[in-house]
Amino acid sequence: MLEEDAKSIFTHWLETHGASVLQVARAYTLTMEESQDLAQEILLQAWRSLPNFAGQASPATWFYRVALHTAMNWRRNDRPRRMHQKPLLEVQSLATESVDAPQRVEQRERVERLYEAIHQLPQTDIALVLLYLDELSYREMANVLGISESNVGVRLNRAKKTLAKLLDAEPVEGKADESR
């Protein structure tokens, strides 16, 4: 693959799938700084891995695989340092005159609670929950994780129940789950 072609492909994929990189990085880190560091590491790994892309999976699936494997390795290798760290909640500057500021604060708190709960899951379940939150089908999740669709369903159900316990709430069941 020519370097110009690789740059063009990588840039296009980054525009299309960049949000998933940030989502994966956020889920595997405790602070915004770590999240940015991990996102950079994921992008570096994706760039290095691009020549190995054989087209057997979709670009989205390939990007997720690179992101998840990089994040899991990063988390495992960085564990000793992080054992002594506490999450630093990022406080967004909220406009004081905004009418919906309390709603944004409440939503931000719910998202933070969700990420704190996600951090407590096993690494493979973190990956599964991220794919679910990104609204991938069971087939797409199975392709990314290299497991069967039925295994996706079983593991996702368990992860939802664990998250519900961690969040002290009931698991959300709905038609979206049945259609996947």
Q: Give yes or no for a contact between 28 and 125, defined as CB atoms under 8 angstroms apart.
A: no
Residue 180 scores a pLDDT above 60 = no
Task: Tell whether the model's pLDDT for residue 98 goes beyond 80.
Answer: no
Q: Which residue has the higher pLDDT, 47 or 97?
A: 47
Digit-coded pLDDT (tens) for 9-37: 888 888 887 888 888 888 888 777 888 88
Q: Please report which confidence band the pLDDT of residue 119 belongs to, taking 50, 70 and 90 as the band edges.
A: confident
Q: What phi and psi values does residue 61 have, to the nearest 5 degrees? A: -65, -45
H-assigned helices in the chain: 3-27, 32-49, 59-82, 101-119, 123-133, 138-145, 149-167, 175-179
Rounded to two decimals, the pTM is 0.55
Q: Go through the domains of the chain in sequence order and give each one's CATH number.
A: 1-83 (1.10.1740.10), 99-180 (1.10.10)
pLDDT tens-digit map of 150-179:
999 999 999 989 988 888 754 454 434 444
26, 111, 154, 173 from 176: Cα distances, Å: 24, 20, 16, 8
Evaluate whether 124 touches 138 at the Cβ level (below 8 Å): no
